[in-house]
A and B are shown apart, each in its own frame.
Chain A
Amino acid sequence: LAKTTQPISMDSYEGQEVNITCSHNNIATNDYITWYQQFPSQGPRFIIQGYKTKVTNEVASLFIPADRKSSTLSLPRVSLSDTAVYYCLVGDRGGSYIPTFGRGTSLIVHP
């Protein structure tokens, strides 16, 4: 099971770009990388998923280098409403995969 490491917390200001990096040194060949966002007293919300290179959607971008041992979630021009905990998960999407959430990265966006 690939273990992930993320910063515990980050601070930013409105309008800035925020990059949160997740390390997963023992990622397996079939593993995908998935990011979730969680607001207080709510369930996590799927943000983005990728396997390699770059993935972009209306919310964020995910950058994955060739060795796939890390990934970076990029949030463009953050606002106060982006204040949340962000989780990085790694797994093979198969039936035997058990999602493992760490403590995530607590992002605080300041005015």
Chain B
Amino acid sequence: DAGVTQSPTHLIKTRGQQVTLRCSPKSGHDTVSWYQQALGQGPQFIFQYYEEEERQRGNFPDRFSGHQFPNYSSELNVNALLLGDSALYLCASSMGGDQETQYFGPGTRLLVL
């Protein structure tokens, strides 16, 4: 039973660039949420995708966008990267829009120079 997978594991970008991160949910899950975790902080909710639509959104600017595909996998796009976007980006999957019991992937470590 495959868990949540994310790619790439690490990424280095420069300010102003754009980045796309990818996530495949746990087998049987149809809901994907994305989080940003800065060093020493808890994960901060970016948004949730369910039925290929953004259902919930946290306090993040429009530079952060996403997509969910028919196979439930998801992408997180960040435009016009800032130094402050350097963080661990986590993907979590669940079933039926559930937000309480989520299974997290290992994350993508993004460094913006």
The number of residues on chain B lying at the interface, defined by a beta carbon within 8 Å of a beta carbon of chain A, is: 29
Segment touching B, from A16-24, A55-63, A68-76, A89-97: A89-97
Chain A proximity mask over B61-102: 1 for CB below 8 Å, otherwise 0 = 000000000000000000000000000101110000111111
Asked if B109 CB lies within 8 Å of chain A CBs, one says yes
A45 to B101 alpha-carbon distance, docked (Å): 10
Asked if A10 CB lies within 8 Å of chain B CBs, one says no
The number of residues on chain A lying at the interface, defined by a beta carbon within 8 Å of a beta carbon of chain B, is: 25
* With A41-B107, A95-B55 as contacts: A46 and B42 at CB distance below 8 Å: no
Q: Are A41 and B58 in contact (CB under 8 A)?
A: no
Within the complex, the shortest CB–CB distance from B72 to chain A, in Å, comes to 17
User: Which of chain B's residues has its CB closest to A92's CB?
Assistant: B100
Q: Are A104 and B42 in contact (CB under 8 A)?
A: yes
The 8 Å CB contact of A44, one of B43, B44, B56, B99, is B43
**Contact residues in A for B88 (Cβ distance below 8 Å):** 41
The 8 Å CB contact of A101, one of B44, B50, B97, B107, is B44
Asked if A80 CB lies within 8 Å of chain B CBs, one says no
Residues of A within 8 A of B (CB): 32, 34, 41-46, 49, 85, 87, 89, 91, 93-104
